[in-house]
């Protein structure tokens, strides 16, 4: 499960396992878990975009000997996969992103920091 909001379709990891994982990368942040959620819930175009982004990040990591591009890509897609696995969250997510692209982001007092987001999701 990618979050505690609703039961996932396509992922076998639960939030507690993600939080308690002794692995360097929690199971819910594993590219295969993200892909499983997208494959079960998103359309083919989204899945193709994920695969392309992940391939590009792998290539950049290999080329530069630095995992940062891969970690950034996986974390970014984790949020999108979480939205796709919850239809209500997806309905809120897409219009919000479109509004941000059209009007700009919300004022700073209405935003969450990365630390707040990570804490909320136990990462």
Ramachandran region of residue 86, left (φ > 0), alpha (ψ -120 to 50) or beta?
A: beta
pLDDT tens-digit series, residues 30-85? 899 999 999 998 889 999 999 999 999 999 999 999 999 999 999 889 888 888 88
In a domain, 40, yes or no: yes
84 within 8 A of 90, measured Cβ to Cβ: yes
Count of structural domains, the chain: 1
Global pTM value: 0.56
At residue 36, the pLDDT reads 92
Residue 2 maps to a domain:
no
- Domain assignment present for residue 6? The answer is no
Higher pLDDT among residues 6 and 119, named by residue: 119
Burial class from Cβ neighbours inside 10 Å (0-12, 13-18, 19+) for residue 104 reads: exposed
Query: Could you tell me the residue range of the domain that residue 66 belongs to?
Result: 15-120
Neighbours of 51 (CB within 10 A): 13
pLDDT at 5 over 50: no
The answer to whether position 10 is within a domain reads no
């Amino acid at each position: 499960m990618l979050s505690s909001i609703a039961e996932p379709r396509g992922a076998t990891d639960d939030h507690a396992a993600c939080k308690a994982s002794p692995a360097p990368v929690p199971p819910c942040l594993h590219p295969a878990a993200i892909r499983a959620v997208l494959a079960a819930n998103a359309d083919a175009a989204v899945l193709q975009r994920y695969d392309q982004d992940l391939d590009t990040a792998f290539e950049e990591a290999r080329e530069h000997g630095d995992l940062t591009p891969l970690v950034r890509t996986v974390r970014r897609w984790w949020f999108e996969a979480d939205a796709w696995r919850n239809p209500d969250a997806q309905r809120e997510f897409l219009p919000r992103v479109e509004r941000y692209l059209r009007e700009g982001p919300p004022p700073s007092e209405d935003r969450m920091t990365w630390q707040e987001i990570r804490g909320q999701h136990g990462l």
